[in-house]
Structure 1
């Protein structure tokens, strides 16, 4: 067990070095080893100071993620931190790398902290629907007050120790070797005769009671409007830091942590985090390396091409932009220039980025490019070397390799890598290299052009139309989905895009495409004349239009639907489409569908994606609701066969993976 923590004594200093790669997570075995070695150091009369540090790239960067889904086995991180805080000998945390979560709490529990320049500290638990559980909510405000502590806890961000607020948590910032910085600081402590200095005794951040309570009141007003559980528990726990003795505050934090941990949101957020990591591990054939990309060619004009150009320039790539029409090229370069000048936080200087842009005719822009992005139709005949990878980015057939970006490309986080039937290993590697260079979340999709996002949103609209057929008001459908946590109202979104875009979508016999119905009635959407679609857009904002209800009610009987039933059926229909995609091998797992639904369709992370949402709602209950819907589109609403298998075996969509393909 103790090999996870090295132990050495030199010149009166006991070094406890945590070595649990890759991030030195404070797993149970590490905690046990630390407790054992703390006892050893305290009992050694030759030891004056105890130093905690991490091997490799970082001080511990949190707890073991696998432990966060159930109560900690003793000793918990909180018990470890308490033991460190109560040490009879001074304990120094020597920090480097990313000191996060339980690792940061361990550092705060130590009596002193020395850090290398560039070290970052933070508590990202909120991103998993959780909160600190080892004293973080009680110690942070003692150092920096409620306002700054809540900024850190509610954002989940990491902050450098070179400047505030990170600087407030360390006693010294040094350069060079970590061990040398620790030696110098410990020598000073011994020379000064310094003993233990417990962080729980600090009062700096608690001294201004009015400011403390004002910050609490401000944050409570903000988080009370959110459906998220963790932010409310965090604010209440920070408030307890000023109202309760430290030990009682720790007990309050523990109870609040358990509230978060047992809530479905934590499971959903943990699920989507792991799903993103698995999706990012796109498998390449053995021996196939990612190519180095310095310059790409973007062929074609229009909004998609311009967004691709901006995204590539912002990522540091050079771009050859080819458009056959000189006037369209001039307009496109002006649009890109304006977009870069508007800027993105942290982006390079617009002039520097524009300096990497070349433009001209499509044929002239092929030379010097490491790959080509087809961003508009009519570019397939542009001559290029046969081994130059051509990636199809627009909605079109894909035989080799394609990319489907979440819009807009420069800010959207998702890129579906569409692996066509004739895709080669170099093509797949080039697409993955581009996605990583752009900083996107990849999801591997096997199809001839269909995207997962496209099929999911089509299923959502088909389900919404079916509910209107069954008597629901379009406004009730939109309200129900927003209340459920999907901030993209389907019928309002149709109006924004233009109803003519969705009017051709097929429906089963006896079912209606309500966009088609409204277009025939002279309601084309927000940009129509008059500006009416499902909503009345007079004045530029969407208003529920009673005239629409009258129009629709003449074509089907009205029925009041419960919001929960509407959401269950629409999300269930999307999950059903996801199950079909998994069964066909289009995606590797249901988790991939969740990643797409979160990043491309804006399903809230706390739902974990559409597949996870149905798993938590209940596969059997959702399948039953779908079967009971009296609607002519029976094939669409019939749950895929896998639903029954999962329910029978007590499984969920978390367990659903695609069938193995023959080699």
Structure 2
């Protein structure tokens, strides 16, 4: 942090760009600076601003953070400063950066500034008095919208509009200094947010909003939203100091929770996976135009996703009819976005205008990356230095492949397949593409299999083994529904369709229950019946007595396992398969397996993936469960040697990539 002064105004500059994190060092520096400003008779007011692209990104989850006492103490010092304090905001203002801005007496922002409180996504409660000051300014509705959603909010509209006093015209620092001098000249002086009551103007409405959000949160398993709602309620019911204590207790409860640990692990895993295993100094190539070769649904989805990210597309096929069908579908997708307000009409038209279509051979010349979206495109001529990637499922990967999770426009996962002949240049282009699309990329060293397909297969194989052992199929799914998996294994099986899973082999004495059901005419949701009966309410499958009778006739009954035991066995089998992938070098870190599980299998993020959960449940407990489960498929259930190694050294899978000690 830097100090300067001119004509009675102390200018405090956050000088750790690009994000200016709120670190213990910054807290100490600001504490000293405000102490100096308060005691300096030559200072009439304080202006707080920042260098770089953003005012402050708040706490760095990978770095040291200020403790609750230090943060509250600093913000109280700023708020009780006897001289007016103006915060000049720009770029992104996140987390404790928002708390810092709220501690100031006045706020002025550059156009385009966005505020966000992402703590809930990490299972945390916003600290530094944010849950107490924000409702005083905005009321319960807008404050909870910001804190429970965790998204970005423009300062000039919506929920965040009541936070700032002015939107700067022209140069922010000059406008903020002029604003501060007007405050000084008018004698308005300090205006602590803790004394504001604007948001409490309608007490009954405030409490009604709190009750509404509490009812919604009560139907979910996440702890942090409930604590945030309680803290916002306390903001109106308790004196400010008592509210700060309430917030601190709630924040500590959440920070120490298993949910916060899992969510933080997922966040750090996504950050770590961005590099795709490349050195930091590998150049990041430009990627302005991509060729998509081949027609069909995948090509349409990928082309739309590229265009929507601002990447121009050359779409080529050898069958003009596929373009005649596909281009109108693209227009419909953009029209739908306009209707929903996610994109403006002019922007949608601009993106469609960056699309070229034609024969495959004519589409590769000026592309910086070529994506094969269908079979039969590998021999299309193109400049030799242009990277090519096979993206359609099942294609063998010799160099670079990409496997987009479905549906491509909204799903975030991309498995970046690194075949035996992949080059650094190809991986660098893939890294750029994943970043431009705003997706999560996981490098997979494989020519064919994906991590997602292996996790899905082993999950279903484990569930089949439980059914072999006499467990009720619906009890298995209920165990996972109660655990928090909204699309549990057998329900997911029906949605995917049983035909693909029915081809997977089983050991002697074990059944592939997808094959059994398929032979009985139950192929999944599309046909109306699979494991569940989908005919009455397609969006709400029903348990089916006919399925129970079919299963019961083919295997002996057994005493039901506890839900906890079912969850441990299935997740343990998935972690065991993850251990096999690690030992083969298919992936570099356990966290990458967890990312695929969270994004491709839609496991609850607040629980974590199977590798993290094996540690959370206790590796020894998981190993014993795998060893003691009686089933003919013994090699499948035999724990990998790494379990014994980790247990011996008191470690978990998380420790292998630095997520835990």
TM-score, normalized by length of structure 1?
0.93
Q: Residue 605 of structure 1 aligns to a residue in which SS?
A: coil
* Corresponding residue of 1:133: 127
Moved more, 563-572 or 337-346: 337-346
Structure 1 unmatched ranges of 5 or more:
659-663
* Corresponding residue of 1:431: 430
* Corresponding residue of 1:26: 22
Which of residues 337, 342, 348 in structure 2 aligns to 1:346?
342
Q: Residue 83 of structure 1 aligns to a residue in which SS?
A: helix
Tell me how far apart the structure 2 counterparts of residues 87 and 63 of structure 1 sit (CA, whole Å): 24
Q: Is the 8 A contact 1:28 1:75 kept in 2?
A: no
Shift in CA distance, 407/348, structure 1 to aligned 2, threshold 3 Å = farther
Q: Is the 8 A contact 1:116 1:174 kept in 2?
A: yes
Can you list the C-alpha shifts for 1:362-385, whole angstroms capped at 9, x where unaligned?
Answer: 334333333221112222233333
Can you list the C-alpha shifts for 1:453-494, whole angstroms capped at 9, x where unaligned?
Answer: 111111111111111111112211222222222222222222
Q: Residue 396 of structure 2 aligns to a residue in which SS?
A: coil
* Corresponding residue of 1:36: 32
Give yes or no for the alignment of 1:154 onto 2:148: yes
* Corresponding residue of 1:661: none
Note the 1:76-91 alignment, pairs <5 A: 76-91=70-85
Can you list the C-alpha shifts for 1:426-479, whole angstroms capped at 9, x where unaligned?
Answer: 222222222223222111111112111111111111111111111112211222
Note the 1:173-322 alignment, pairs <5 A: 173-284=167-278, 288-322=282-316
Report how far residue 66 of structure 1 moved.
Answer: 4.4
Tell me how far apart the structure 1 counterparts of residues 337 and 159 of structure 2 sit (CA, whole Å): 26
Report how far residue 308 of structure 1 moved.
Answer: 1.5
Can you list the C-alpha shifts for 1:561-592, whole angstroms capped at 9, x where unaligned?
Answer: 22111111111211211222122221121111
Tell me how far apart the structure 2 counterparts of residues 173 and 353 of structure 1 sit (CA, whole Å): 30
Q: Is the 8 A contact 1:28 1:74 kept in 2?
A: no
Note the 1:321-332 alignment, pairs <5 A: 321-332=315-326
Tell me how far apart the structure 2 counterparts of residues 571 and 648 of structure 1 sit (CA, whole Å): 21
Shift in CA distance, 502/606, structure 1 to aligned 2, threshold 3 Å = same
Q: Residue 411 of structure 2 aligns to a residue in which SS?
A: coil
Q: Is the 8 A contact 1:285 1:425 kept in 2?
A: no
* Corresponding residue of 1:415: 414
Moved more, 438-447 or 298-307: 298-307
Tell me how far apart the structure 1 counterparts of residues 367 and 56 of structure 2 sit (CA, whole Å): 42
Give yes or no for the alignment of 1:620 onto 2:605: no
Moved more, 172-181 or 127-136: 172-181
Can you list the C-alpha shifts for 1:65-112, whole angstroms capped at 9, x where unaligned?
Answer: 24689xx54752111111111222222222222122111112111222
Aligned-residue CA RMSD (Å) = 2.1
* Corresponding residue of 2:117: 123
Which of residues 12, 16, 20 in structure 1 aligns to 2:12?
16
Report how far residue 335 of structure 1 moved.
Answer: 3.4
Q: Residue 16 of structure 1 aligns to a residue in which SS?
A: strand
Note the 1:46-85 alignment, pairs <5 A: 46-66=42-62, 72-73=66-67, 76-85=70-79
* Corresponding residue of 1:554: 553
Structure 2 unmatched ranges of 5 or more:
none
Give yes or no for the alignment of 1:535 onto 2:529: no
Note the 1:411-490 alignment, pairs <5 A: 411-490=410-489
Moved more, 337-346 or 450-459: 337-346
Q: Residue 536 of structure 1 aligns to a residue in which SS?
A: coil
Tell me how far apart the structure 1 counterparts of residues 630 and 397 of structure 2 sit (CA, whole Å): 37
Shift in CA distance, 107/343, structure 1 to aligned 2, threshold 3 Å = closer
Q: Residue 9 of structure 1 aligns to a residue in which SS?
A: strand
* Corresponding residue of 2:596: 596
Shift in CA distance, 641/154, structure 1 to aligned 2, threshold 3 Å = same
Task: Kindly tell me the number of residue pairs found equivalent between the two proteins.
Answer: 650
* Corresponding residue of 1:580: 580
* Corresponding residue of 1:365: 363
Report how far residue 151 of structure 1 moved.
Answer: 0.8
Moved more, 506-515 or 189-198: 189-198
Can you list the C-alpha shifts for 1:382-435, whole angstroms capped at 9, x where unaligned?
Answer: 333333322011122101100011111121111111110011222222222222
Report how far residue 497 of structure 1 moved.
Answer: 2.7
Report how far residue 254 of structure 1 moved.
Answer: 0.9
Can you list the C-alpha shifts for 1:596-652, whole angstroms capped at 9, x where unaligned?
Answer: 111222112212222212221212111211111111112111121111111221211
Report how far residue 496 of structure 1 moved.
Answer: 2.7
* Corresponding residue of 1:376: 374
Q: Is the 8 A contact 2:398 2:421 kept in 1?
A: yes
Report how far residue 657 of structure 1 moved.
Answer: 4.7
Report how far residue 165 of structure 1 moved.
Answer: 3.0
Q: Residue 84 of structure 1 aligns to a residue in which SS?
A: helix
Tell me how far apart the structure 2 counterparts of residues 68 and 486 of structure 1 sit (CA, whole Å): 33
Shift in CA distance, 371/8, structure 1 to aligned 2, threshold 3 Å = closer
Tell me how far apart the structure 2 counterparts of residues 436 and 656 of structure 1 sit (CA, whole Å): 25
Tell me how far apart the structure 2 counterparts of residues 606 and 623 of structure 1 sit (CA, whole Å): 23
Tell me how far apart the structure 2 counterparts of residues 503 and 567 of structure 1 sit (CA, whole Å): 23
Can you list the C-alpha shifts for 1:227-259, whole angstroms capped at 9, x where unaligned?
Answer: 000100111111111111111111111111111
Q: Residue 330 of structure 1 aligns to a residue in which SS?
A: helix
Tell me how far apart the structure 2 counterparts of residues 313 and 64 of structure 1 sit (CA, whole Å): 32
TM-score, normalized by length of structure 2?
0.94
Moved more, 79-88 or 490-499: 490-499
Shift in CA distance, 598/135, structure 1 to aligned 2, threshold 3 Å = same
Shift in CA distance, 388/74, structure 1 to aligned 2, threshold 3 Å = closer
